[in-house]
Chain A
């Protein structure tokens, strides 16, 4: 779903140019508004759509996902810490709204304070584990957890 820009909404601020990981959002040389210079190379990450302060960037859907006339729009509200989607089907009847948290703590407050953590011992340095790894995969609690170690097994066939 390559992006495109509503020229009347864009104020040429450059947020999309700055954030685009493919470097394909640029400012038009004559109109001084953003545009997608190479839609084929757009990997549809939605970064520019979410970063645009004026919701001036939209996406064109592929026919198999959302035929012409549909709409998939998003607002990433940083201060609220949520992302809201609205997906409207081309028949105009199915109008879905989604809202999900994108952070549970104020931005920047959960950054690991590595300077405050004690320096790793030689044993830790020689270990194959990464920082904080045991905490999440519980390597300190009986090694790597597998289906077998938990007394589980894969059932054959498709399970619903």
Chain B
């Protein structure tokens, strides 16, 4: 089951061109939704205005080389490994969902655009991707989602902003159920197509577009920290530095000249005290 291409069971019913046309339509819907979302929220306008404002408090110019290093770091830390999440459970759940989605979408497109392929690797990756997406997504929905974990709301209460995660979960669930029941034209296939159409067609109403905006915000934050502006935040003091100890004598007086690591305090506990 894991090694068979579920889309091959549709070959006699739906033409490959029709399936390819659907994929192209979904890509266009994502592009259009993202652009509309950015225009509506004025994300790009805010981003550039904020960057300009932050530049005024810059203390030095960040070189091109440094910017390249920062972009690489953003790619490795924020984009590929979701490093912006301080909560490790949320980061793991996001990684599973994100990489599962990518694997699922890429293998779906590959199988549809190469219908003659007899490779067993692609169907295996397709199933693994859908499973990763389902595990990470359901974990997020039932336990990690901020409404449940911090706001104390029940898991079954949802808002329009949940359209993205719900349609994503429905897509993965119905895709797996469709494949496990032998594929072909069935109710499960109709539900799979319906949920994936809502997922890609609902970009404007969901938070799908954040994936294009967040890396830019992460990059800008790094530039602000490097150019000395630091968004007006205080410096990251080294408590063992004699200059810092001279400037702030309370530190060596009460903590000693080489203070130990004090541990995590409230960060050691999960934000779940409602």
Contact = CB atoms under 8 A, between A and B. Distances in A.
Given A18-B271, A32-B161, A8 B50 contact: yes
Given A8-B50, A99-B234, A100-B248, A18 B150 contact: yes
Interface of A: 8-9, 11-15, 17-19, 26-27, 29-32, 51, 53-55, 71, 73-75, 78-82, 84-86, 88, 92, 97-101, 103-108
Nearest to A99: B248
Given A8-B47, A27-B151, A55-B231, A80 B239 contact: yes
B235 A84 contact: yes
Given A85-B234, A99-B237, 5 more contacts: A17-B146, A17-B271, A73-B234, A80-B237, A103-B265
A66 to B, nearest CB: 12
Given A8-B217, A13-B87, A75-B234, A29 B159 contact: yes
Given A13-B271, A18-B274, A81 B259 contact: yes
Interface in B245-265: 247-248, 250-251, 254-255, 259-265
B195 interface: no
Interface of B: 46-47, 50, 57, 84-87, 90, 146-147, 149-151, 159-161, 207, 213, 217, 221, 231-237, 239, 244, 247-248, 250-251, 254-255, 259-268, 271-274
Contacts of B237: 80, 82, 84, 99
A86 B233 contact: yes
A54 B86 contact: yes
A133 to B, nearest CB: 24
Contacts of B247: 99
Contact of B263 (A32, A51, A78): A78
Given A27-B146, A84-B235, A106 B263 contact: yes
Given A55-B233, A84-B237, A13 B90 contact: yes
